[in-house]
Chain A
Amino acid sequence: MLSGKVFRYGDNVDTDVIIPARYLNAPTPSELAKHCMEDIDPSFAAAVQPGDIVVGGWNFGCGSSREHAPIAIEASGVSCVIAASFARIFYRNAINIGFPILECPEAAKAIQNGDRVSVDTATGVITDETTGQSFQAVAFPPFIGQIIENGGLLKYLKNRRKG
């Protein structure tokens, strides 16, 4: 069960604001985390606490293929991202690195900035503890579920090779 305070943003949150290209040559995830969301919310990196949750609107993570984007969000301590929809490369990247994302237009619309939210990644149930509302995220296809269960694409490939 994941639980934390919500940082809410709008539609089309792009990878350039998630981690601006001027920091892409940073050598470590923790270095990237220092600049996460800098161009959309300069206070994010200092305010975010382990477990906190990012909520976005439609097309979250659009733009560049930089895997640095989900890496920076994860390294910031964020436990998962909930959005109305995800841009496809961000969606792939998050799954491939084993970082939890949930697609749920209703939750993305209802949850407000600063709400406390808990997420059961096994069932996809999202609960806004501030308002008491619950939401059901779109389920992953079984194949993608396997990648997530294995902790990412490379671990999945290695485990499959062993098996």
Chain B
Amino acid sequence: MGMTMTQKILAAHAGLGSVRAGDLIEAKLDLVLGNDVTTPVAVGVFDEAGFESVFDPEKIVIVLDHYTPCKDIKSAELCKISRNFAKRFGITHLYDVGQAGIEHALLPEKGLVAPGECVIGADSHTCTYGALGAFSTGVGSTDMAAGMAVGENWFKVPAAVRVTLNGTLSPFVSGKDVILHLIGEIGVDGALYRSLEFTGEGVASLSMDDRFTISNMAIEAGAKNGIFPVDEKTREYVKDKVQRPWTAYEADADAEYEREVVIDLGALRPTVALPHLPENTKTIDEAKGMPIDQVVIGSCTNGRISDLRIAASLLKGRKVAQGVRCIVIPATQAVSMQCLQEGLTEIFLAAGCAVSTPTCGPCLGGHMGCLAAGERAVATTNRNFVGRMGATSSEIILASPAVAAASAVLGRLASPEEL
């Protein structure tokens, strides 16, 4: 019996010739990630267990992105714990305000993840790096502590769901619409404990940014990871970023898949997820018109340069509607700089958007755009759970940057085709 791409990477990191779905293995880690919310808990666990060294200070990354720039004293104290821990063990990859960005946009950009690597992160959206052909998955703080201490962790080898992508996307349809459509099809536990293995001739047409968005929300289908094959676009992306050797793994022809889903990219419409679950999807044609109070364009899902380019192209020469607040958050310092250089920042400001320094802020109702009771937002973020962005009676509609920008201009949930 052959192996999926995910199974091959796990087997290689466990030093095994082959693995099967359901096997419990211990795999070596190429990178361990934490943020300002999860690292302090991991530090507590690490110290309580009495560990006095980390497995490799070069393979630990701490990104202070959730409540930063610190929103209050408690958050500042948490960041201090992370900084002190990094100092104590010579962890050089600590990304603080001014160099940082949202972790899952930052790590690929810095070349910290390469194809074929095995990565855990104490943040559920760590699955983003599957776009690079790596195995990466979200874990908790105790897993992070264990990973930092011993450089390996236990995994249950996942069974797989194969998602075959055919055709090419239409204008104004993006990776966000692909993943929302998929979650709508299979549900928020449709891939529970499984890997999502993306394949098919349609993959080649997807940009790396589209692939990052798709892998990013694998967790919203309950998946352990969501992985793409390594192709010319992947090689081009990592060429100037990654200097160390890496391996491209391919699924065996006879790999086993528990379920198959086929998506015709050309047939997809801009898709949104209505409150309060990412599986509550509708096409924009079915859902447009709902009144809104706020728009958020950013996050680890959709804060990359191509996201901001499409948003700017729709906001150019237009104004954010009266009564709507539009918050734009480039995901990293580099993306912010690129926005400035390409004139996107000027377009956003002229349109009446608030443009922020990188932060996860509003996505999790942390700061920089919380919602009051009864308010409704269109957001390019990844979760629309009850109270996620603020008051429990507030509502979040998940959408692509194009839909979010069009909605900001028209003051209601809108299709970019209406502009």
Contacts and interface: CB of A to CB of B under 8 A. Distances in A.
A149 interface: no
B73 to A, nearest CB: 9
Interface stretch (B109-117, B134-142, B317-325): B134-142
Nearest to B49: A154
B297 interface: no
Interface string B329-362: 0000000000000000000000000000000000
Nearest to A42: B392
Interface in B70-128: 72, 74-75, 77-78, 121-124, 126
Nearest to B72: A25
A63 B49 contact: no
Contacts of A88: 192-193, 222, 224
Contact of B74 (A26, A40, A147): A26
A66 B38 contact: yes
Given A65-B139, A93-B140, A155-B49, A12 B188 contact: yes
Contacts of A12: 188-189, 277
Contacts of A14: 383, 385-386
Interface residues of B, number: 51
Contacts of B48: 154
B69 interface: no
Interface stretch (B144-152, B202-210, B267-275, B373-381): B144-152
Given A39-B386, A144-B24, A65 B138 contact: yes
A101 B123 CA distance: 21
Contacts of B121: 65
B188 A62 contact: yes
Nearest to B364: A21
B383 A63 contact: yes
The listed residue with most A CB atoms (<10 A of its CB), out of B37, B50, B122, is B37
Given A89-B140, A154-B145, A40 B365 contact: no
Interface string A135-163: 00000010110010000111101100000
A137 to B, nearest CB: 17
Given A92-B143, A153-B142, A158-B50, A59 B192 contact: yes
B189 A59 contact: yes
Contacts of A51: none
Contacts of B277: 12
B263 to A, nearest CB: 23
A152 B140 CA distance: 13
A124 interface: no
Given A25-B75, A153-B142, A157-B150, A89 B124 contact: yes
A12 B221 CA distance: 11
A81 to B, nearest CB: 15
12 contacts: A16-B365, A16-B386, A17-B386, A24-B66, A25-B74, A27-B74, A64-B364, A67-B38, A67-B122, A93-B140, A97-B142, A154-B146
Interface of A: 12, 14, 16-17, 20-22, 24-27, 39-40, 58-59, 62-68, 71, 85, 87-89, 92-93, 96-97, 141, 143-144, 147, 152-155, 157-158
Given A39-B392, A88-B224, 15 more contacts: A12-B188, A22-B366, A24-B66, A25-B75, A58-B189, A66-B37, A67-B140, A67-B141, A68-B37, A87-B222, A143-B154, A153-B143, A157-B150, A158-B49, A158-B50
